[in-house]
Amino acid sequence: MFKNIGLKILTFLFVSSFFLLNAGTIKIGALVSATGPASFLGDPELKTLQHYVEKINNEGGVNGQKIELIAYDTGASPKKAVTFVKRLISQDKVVAIIGPSTTGETMAVIKFVQRAKIPLISMAGAVVIINPVKKYVFKMVATDRMACQRIMQDLKKRKLTNLALISGSGGFGKSMRKQCKEVAPNYGIKIVADETYGKKDTDMTTQLLKIKNNKKVQAVLNPGFGQGPAIVTKNYRQLKIKQPLYESHGVASKKYIEIAGKAANGVRLVSPPVIVADKLADSNPVKKVALAYKNEYEKAFHTQVASFGGHAYDSLYAIVDAIKAEHSINPQKIRDGIENLKNFQGVDGIVNMSPTDHLGLDTKTGMVLLDIKNGDWSIVK
């Protein structure tokens, strides 16, 4: 009897010894969905974080201190994100957290960072994360609401007023669906069909057939991220639906074109500017940072840049800038530093934070409208 409990205690001691980490570094936590249904967000994010942390450390660190990145793979599961955020807070004792990659996970962890008073910069898309403003929660990625507005603008211009929605049922899809329905009337657009699909569904023909048979539909918008939209796009072409298909910034990655293949041609989407950094006008203030990031990423990993890695870059440098500005690695101070960021030149756009705006992204620089032509992005003039 004594022995098996002895084993238990031994195991606990073993666990604890694992976590005795050295002090003197700036510990930054990261929650990325590097595997699972959102891996095409998490993978470039993790790569970017690891690459730039190494770069910063090689250049002497921040205020003479090295950064220690503690990243966990959540597999896009809110449950895992909750476990890991607790681990980052109480075990690893990080001073700031980057991520999670998806809206659902972010909403699940907010409560814990708020309670622990650790600043968090989410890399997810939905507006609900920063509206209403939460003291310790920031994000610099363009919101779903902004994406909806940009798309509605374009629809209005093309006089396509009857829109069908086919949305993912994850946090981002749900939130963007809601936002699009809210802003549509402002642009004189009617939602005539409203379908949804599950996170791990592998076929959306049923929902798309309903849309196809609806004679009123003039255009289709697919709020969602990850594999879902790629499947929607494929099914869309298989069913030979003629109306234009719009995608959100949840697919702004070459991976999407790879998975959807030829079906992706002709899709119109909104995206952060980084994936077309080389095609931006020289006058665009984002071009310099975005192009530098794009080149460095592509050189380091021999793969095309995705917008998601840009979110990671911005989040990391926002924290670094905040630490430099406040000369402190106290989480409270870092939070203040992030809130006071002004004219921050990010890959995703120019950011001006304030106590009432934890997004701070400039709409003009933060979103571009793209067409996919011959498997490549092209800016809509």
Partner 1 sequence: MLKRYNISQDIIVLAILLFIAPFFFQNDFIYEIAIVSLLNALICVGLNMLMGYAGQVSLGHGAFAGLGGYIAVILSSNYGISPLFSIFIAIVTMAIFAFIISKPILKLRGHYLAMATLGVGIIISIVLNVEDELTGGSDGMSVDSFSVFGYEFTDSLQWYILCAVLLIFTIWMFKNLINSPFGRVLKSIEGSQKAANSVGINVSHYKSVVFVISVVIATLAGSLYAFFSGFISPSEASFSHSIELVVMVVLGGLGRVYGAIIGAVILTILPQLLTSFEDYQTLIYGAIIIFVMMFMPKGIASLFDDIKRRLFAQNK
Which residues in this chain contact partner 1 in the complex, by CB under 8 A? 1-5, 7-9, 11-16, 18-19, 72-73, 77-79, 82-83, 86-87, 89-91, 103-105, 107-108, 111-112, 169-171, 174, 198-199
Q: Which is nearer to partner 1, 19 or 375 (CB)?
A: 19
Q: Which is nearer to partner 1, 177 or 268 (CB)?
A: 177
Q: Write down the least CB distance from residue 134 to partner 1, Å.
A: 13
Q: What is the dihedral of CA 48, 49, 52, 56, to 10 degrees?
A: 180
Give, as one character, the DSSP assignment of residue 312. H
Q: Which is nearer to partner 1, 84 or 236 (CB)?
A: 84
Q: Write down the least CB distance from residue 289 to partner 1, Å.
A: 30
Q: Rounded to an integer, what distance in angstroms lies between the CA atom of residue 24 and that of residue 8?
A: 32
C-alpha distances in Å from residue 139, one per residue of 3, 85, 381: 50, 17, 28
Do 225 and 125 form a contact (C-beta atoms < 8 A)?
A: yes
Q: Write down the least CB distance from residue 115 to partner 1, Å.
A: 9
Q: Write down the least CB distance from residue 170 to partner 1, Å.
A: 6
Q: Write down the least CB distance from residue 102 to partner 1, Å.
A: 8
Q: Which is nearer to partner 1, 90 or 354 (CB)?
A: 90
Which residues on adjacent β-strands are paired with residue 19? none
Q: Write down the least CB distance from residue 144 to partner 1, Å.
A: 15
Q: Which is nearer to partner 1, 172 or 308 (CB)?
A: 172
- SS3 category, 380: coil
Q: Rounded to an integer, what distance in angstroms lies between the CA atom of residue 320 and that of residue 337?
A: 9
Q: Which is nearer to partner 1, 5 or 281 (CB)?
A: 5
Sheet holding 368-373, edge to edge: 190-197, 162-168, 219-222, 245-247, 268-271, 368-373, 376-379
- SS3 category, 73: strand
Could you tell me which residues come within 8 angstroms of residue 58 by beta carbon, excluding any fewer than 6 positions away?
none
